[in-house]
Amino acid sequence: MDKTLTGITPAVVETSRSQRYIQLLLLVIAAGAIYPLLYLRQVYQTPMLEFFHIDNSQLGYLYSILGTVFLLCYLPSGWLADRIAPRFLICFSLIATGALGLVYSTAPSLPVLLVVFCCWGLTTGLTFWASILKRVKTIAAHDEQGRFFGLLDGGRGLIEALLATIALVIFAAATEKHGLPTNVGFRYVVYLYSGFCIGLGLLMVMVKEPPATQQELQQAADNLSQKHNLWRDLVTLMRIPQLWLMAAVVFCGYQIFWATYSFSAYLQVGDLKMTVVMAGTLTTLKLWMRPIGGIGGGYLGDRFSTLGVLSTALFLAAIGLVALAVLPTMHIEPRVGVAVIAVVVLVIGILTYAIRGLYWSLLDDCGIPLRITGLAIGLVSLIGYSPDVFLPLVNGWTTEHFPGLPGYQIYFSYIAVVSVIGGVAALALMGMRKTVAKDAIR
């Protein structure tokens, strides 16, 4: 094919290391800024209920709608990321999400809130999710996949923590120092997140696009030389066994992350009986393990073996979850028992975020054609994040039918089994990669 027809010149300009890390930094900030606006209930649930004049059931309905839109958007998100430049989609997502936040700040009626949450599902799911993952994969070199995805997840957690701290300071200053109503303080918090998203989106629009990477140029050529057919592309992906194993790893690893949501309630039942403040402090400390686990796991994966580190983390997480189920029954001296469980919780936090930081780097081991990488991300997301639908029901059923500590012991034991399955899937993928490498040498 004539290269002049594709717009590709013979002299391919590679992005420098510093340019790629600057791009990654912007992506990390974007990922850390866009989602907290949707989940302000984690810190401000009571002010939210007062601000919007709704009850807990209505709030749950809003988030149920959001989760449903996410699930429906995963596959189309990947399809879209293969056809529109991820950079454009990311900028649009940030500005649109922030603009919806400004509507949110007006305390609209419940029907309008439903529309806002549906649209948030589109701007953070359809146009953002696969785009940012594909962009990270594209700018990372083959031997940097682990650290780039680790930096994305760990750095995202750091940005979320920093923004949450600033927001809390603003809220406290407005409500406690100046005596303003909580409604006003909450509105200031929404302004902070909305303004940050819009500002970041505009900044990314204005930042000069660096020279295209080899992968981007290759994809441009592929898009011109090959016709896209959704069903044919899906069949191509379904014939890749490594992709199914990756989906299994994500499916299992994501459930470990879900289990950490129950740590605060678990710490307050049985003989543990931690106070709300103590349990909240410990689970907050766990959140700060995200940069350590995500970034550390990514660098270890590149230094040794991504699949080796990932499988080890999955097996260790299973041991940690079994420890949470068993330790309260061992009649250890209370202070020692609480200290040991606190350490286990923090270690599980590190392992969980290492797993999250690593599993998307497995895309590089699946032999996926670059032109349908976005679609692959959507397909894996559809399978891997499906626990969003059923795991809350599993958790609710076990804790309702087995009140107190027994319910959490059953729940954590189930997650431990799932974690072992994920570790086995990672080992199977490792074995498959070694087989492919040996065949290539022959």
* Of residues 346, 281, 323, the one with CA closest to residue 412: 323
Coil, helix or strand for 358? helix
What digits encode the pLDDT tens for the residues 75-121? 899 889 888 888 899 999 999 999 999 999 999 999 999 999 999 99
Tokens 């592929």 sit at which residue? Answer: 222
Q: How confident is the model at residue 435 (pLDDT cuts 50, 70, 90)?
A: confident
Domain ranges, ordered by start, for the chain: 14-225, 230-441
What digits encode the pLDDT tens for the residues 15-74? 467 778 888 899 999 999 999 898 887 667 778 888 999 887 788 788 878 888 888 998
In this structure, are residues 20 and 215 in contact, taking their beta carbons and an 8 Å threshold? no
Q: Across all residues in the chain, what is the average pLDDT? A: 84
Alpha carbon distance 96, 310 (integer Å): 35
Fold agreement between 14-225 and 230-441? yes
What digits encode the pLDDT tens for the residues 379-425? 998 999 888 778 877 877 888 788 888 998 999 999 999 999 999 99
| 107, burial (CB in 10 Å: exposed 0-12, middle 13-18, buried 19+) | middle
For residue 352, the model assigns a pLDDT of: 93
Predicted model pTM: 0.75
What are the C-alpha distances in Å from 432 to residues 56, 77, 241, 245, 427? 48, 28, 9, 10, 9
* Of residues 183, 225, 239, 155, the one with CA closest to residue 2: 225
Residues 6+ apart with CB under 8 A from 140: 20, 24, 147, 148, 149
Q: What is the CATH number of domain 230-441?
A: 1.20.1250.20
In this structure, are residues 69 and 123 in contact, taking their beta carbons and an 8 Å threshold? no
The DSSP code for 207 is S
Domain 14-225: which CATH number of 2.60.120.260, 3.40.50.620, 1.20.1250.20, 3.90.120.10: 1.20.1250.20
